[in-house]
Amino acid sequence: MRTRIKICGITRLEDACCAASLGADALGFVFYSPSPRNISAEQAAGIVAQLPAFVTSTALFVDAERTEIDKVLTLTGIDLLQFHGDEDPVFCESFNRPYIKALRVRNDTDIAAEMARYPSARGILLDAYVPGQPGGTGMTFDWQRIPAELQQRIVLAGGLQPDNVATAIAQVRPLAVDVSGGVEATKGIKDSEKIRRFINEVNRVNSN
Ligand SMILES: O=C(O)c1ccccc1NCC(=O)[C@H](O)[C@H](O)COP(=O)(O)O
């Protein structure tokens, strides 16, 4: 199965349109106020409304209040939820919307055991662990720690960029790759040339 592509941290319509036109399967919107990629529900709604069909919109939260998530869902009609905090499975499931759960991988993380806690997740995003930073760190982790039998549930994230994504896919064979900082000009602003190179690299390894 081909590895899908998710471009995360979208804050501008032009970046969303660029990523979609170049072949991104999914776009991510960060609803987490400390992040430089934070976006309001109103702004995200304006972008989501203009996305072409078959591009999945994803709303990312870090231990958000239920009311905030409900507001984003109501205003944007977003397709998929992505939880980056300590949300438990019951909470993740309670929005009646498909979700993916992010796990941050430490040296001693039992990846299979952590993934098994979220059987209803449509995918598990594995990201680097950096103390005090719930995501978007630009750091990689040791991909060899990913159990081979779980590959097709995994959204691989953390420090991916055009120069390493082909190696990552060849090694992990994940359901999808997720990139934010690796395709940015500055935080929150995407670089169209980096997006193009990233997607070309994924397509190249997918066709092998
Ligand atoms: O992007 C952020 O600022 C962010 C803040 C808090 C939680 C998650 C966040 N981003 C998640 C992502 O953009 C990606 O899913 C992932 O962390 C990879 O980011 P990067 O290493 O920059 O490619």
* Domain CATH code at residue 139: 3.20.20.70
pTM greater than the 0.80 cutoff = yes
**Distance from the alpha carbon of residue 63 to the mean position of ligand 1, in angstroms:** 14
Q: Measuring from atom 14 of ligand 1, which residue has the nearest CA? A: 136
Strand 189-190 with 184-186, pairing: antiparallel
pLDDT at 3 over 90: yes
Mean confidence (pLDDT) of the chain = 96
How many domains does the chain divide into? Answer: 1
Q: In 3D, which of 182, 173, 163, 159 has the Cα closest to residue 208?
A: 173
> How far apart, in whole angstroms, are the C-alpha atoms of residue 2 and residue 206?
5
The vertex-5 CA angle with 178 and 61, nearest 5°, equals: 40
Q: Residue with the nearest Cα to atom 7 of ligand 1?
A: 135
Among this protein's residues, is 92 annotated catalytic? no
Question: CA 34, CA 204: separation in Å to the nearest integer?
Answer: 36
| Residue 150 scores a pLDDT above 90 | no
Torsion of CA 118, 84, 31, 11, to 10 degrees: -110
**Where in the sequence is the domain holding 163, given as residue range(s)?**
4-206
Model ipTM value: 0.96
| Per-residue pLDDT at 152 | 85
Q: What is the pLDDT of residue 180?
A: 98
Q: What is the pLDDT of residues 67-122, one digit of tens each?
A: 999 999 999 999 999 999 999 999 999 999 999 999 999 989 999 999 999 999 99
